[in-house]
Amino acid sequence: MSAVSLLRRVASPRKALAGAAVAAACGTLIVAAPAQAAATSASSAQATARQMVGDSAQYRCFAQIVQHESSWNVTATNVSSGAYGLVQALPASKMAAAGSDWRTNPATQIAWGLDYMKDRYGSPCGAWGFWQANGWY
């Protein structure tokens, strides 16, 4: 089970201490926004991605990656590696090629992520296939 999966399981306020212990044990910490704000921005980012991706099968692949990488948190940060955003760009500043608002704009991050997936894997589903085989993309 990945550190992200473990942290998701212990993300409730009652389990915050357990989450910190898991993060310390794994050596990885994903910084997240409060749950209510995250839910609103996540659904907005998902709607934006649906429109930008277009094809429903490719959207499902894209959504799987984003869910695993950031749980649809536009400011998700892996403090260990520096990966950032919905698609966990590394280095994060690569997303500046898609727009100066890359730190906070889900559409900019989605555009960059789609370009990356198409350039490197041919499509979001190609990227998802690689992710499934390797646990990263």
Where in the chain are the domains? 1-31, 32-134
Q: Which pLDDT belongs to residue 41?
A: 85
Q: Which pLDDT belongs to residue 12?
A: 35
* CB of 82 closer than 8 Å to CB of 92: yes
Under the banding of pLDDT at 50, 70 and 90, the label for residue 38 is: low
Map 45-88 to HEC letters. Answer: HHHHHHHHHCCHHHHHHHHHHHHHHHCCCCCCEECCCCCECCCC
Residue 4 has pLDDT above 50, yes or no: no
State CA 14 to chain mean position distance: 24
Q: pLDDT digit string (tens) for 41-85? A: 899 999 999 999 999 999 999 999 999 999 999 999 999 999 999
Q: pLDDT digit string (tens) for 86-128? A: 999 999 999 999 999 999 999 999 999 999 999 999 999 999 9
